[in-house]
Chains A and B, each alone.
Chain A
Amino acid sequence: MTSRSALLVLADGRFPAGGHAHSGGAEAAVRAGRVKDAAGLESFCRGRLHTTGLTSAALAAAAAYGLDPAALDAAADARTPSPALRAVARRLGRQLMRAARATWPSARLDALAAMYPRGAHQPVVLGTTALAAGLDAEDAAYCVAYETVGGPATAVVRLLGLDPYQATAVLARLVPEMDQVAERAAAAARQGIDALPAASAPLLDLTAEQHAAWPVRLFAS
């Protein structure tokens, strides 16, 4: 069993890795009227969790298994059709790398940073960070599953003035599904890189491209 406390440090929304400036597509969904309340937030988060959440969690788990990070980064590129989201994933990967190297110094993180000075895909960095923190592939997958829904929930509290208790209750209702997604992701990663899922959410890809072109927005993505 790995250290639960290390997992809490890494999964904490206060971990300074740049996520606070991103809504995970929630800002575009709010503007389009698809998320207006807690129920809308729940649907949005559920969709994101089972699509990009699963894919990202498996990439992170595979990195925490110690699979080749360059191959995983290419796999992440192949699974991210939106150029805007590829740029976001690398920017967040670079920001996470900074926090990770200061928090859990490791040769493996240094090597990944040297290979991708402009940032590797965030899930690949997260899996490598988990390894540096003494965590395992499942922990990495749980971390991604949680941040997949935690980020949009916080953003929607800011965007709609949604009752924060309701937003947190949404997260609590998604707990069983987060567990399933994390377990599925870790199981897939155990099968090797060719077995990694490629679930995607085309609407998130499309709205991410539109959002990136807005002149006025609260979140970077």
Chain B
Amino acid sequence: MHLDHGHTSHGAISADARRPDGTRRALRIGLGGPVGSGKTATVAALCRVLRDTLSLAVVTNDIYTREDAEFLLRNAVLPPERIQAVETGACPHTAIRDDISANLEAVEDLEDTVGPLDLILVESGGDNLTATFSKGLVDAQIFVIDVAGGDDIPRKGGPGVTTADLLVINKTDLAPHVGSDLARMARDAGEQRGELPVAFTSLRAEDGIAPVADWVRAQLGAWTA
């Protein structure tokens, strides 16, 4: 963290909790996980349940298209000026971990143009089990996997499954159809993660996003406390 504000008068450099004008910046939550696990659907569902009470924006990191941003636009989960796409040069994990400059620019631009914001969701492009967000970019991160990707993923671990602040195991409605053992996934996740929370979701169910939305609200409560 850069606590020395001597050089931050024109744009925050990295993880400072305050904006250049001294106000508190938005809480930033990253969402990562393998391709097809439901990251964009999770972001869309979160926007729908949170947008009436919070000022929200989204940054997407598509690998080679603007599809994620366009999905959110098409579904009108937020007005277009609240959604920004970052291009990642074929390397989504680089843009969220090793060189976060384009993403920091996107979150700062969103705060400048549509702020003040309470929450910015930063969605990673679909990557592998090692992709995690830099602490210079987000304050907390959610890792999204799904039951159809194989019920051995929690056992395999990896930085995303093991260290994310919240592990979401999505598409539980598919478990009986793909032969995934939810109890085993819960047990393995618990062994990998210790005290860190796990949420099982089925976004097709009524209010299926509730456990994730509750967690996000708790993070916001801690951030603004």
Contact = CB atoms under 8 A, between A and B. Distances in A.
B90 to A, nearest CB: 4
Interface in B7-22: 7, 9-11, 13-14
A16 interface: yes
Interface string B38-67: 000000000000000000000000011110
A21 B105 contact: no
A18 B94 CA distance: 10
Q: Say what secondary structure dominates the interface of chain A.
A: helix
Interface stretch (A51-59, A79-87, A98-106): A98-106
A32 interface: no
A95 B102 contact: yes
Given A17-B99, A95-B102, A105-B7, A219 B13 contact: no
Interface string A187-221: 00000000000000000000000000001111110
Contacts of B91: 20-21, 158
A215 B6 contact: no
Interface residues of A, number: 32
Size range of the interface on B?
Answer: 20 to 34
Contact of A113 (B11, B64, B105): B11
Nearest to B7: A105
Residue among B14, B99, B100 having the largest count of chain A Cβ atoms under 10 Å: B99
Given A216-B65, A218-B90, A102 B2 contact: yes
A176 interface: no
22 contacts: A14-B98, A16-B99, A16-B100, A16-B101, A20-B98, A21-B87, A21-B89, A21-B95, A21-B102, A95-B105, A98-B11, A98-B101, A98-B105, A105-B6, A117-B11, A155-B89, A158-B89, A158-B91, A159-B90, A215-B65, A219-B90, A220-B87
Given A99-B101, A217-B87, 19 more contacts: A16-B99, A16-B100, A17-B99, A19-B99, A20-B89, A20-B95, A20-B98, A21-B87, A94-B105, A98-B13, A109-B7, A113-B10, A114-B9, A158-B91, A159-B90, A215-B65, A216-B65, A218-B64, A219-B89
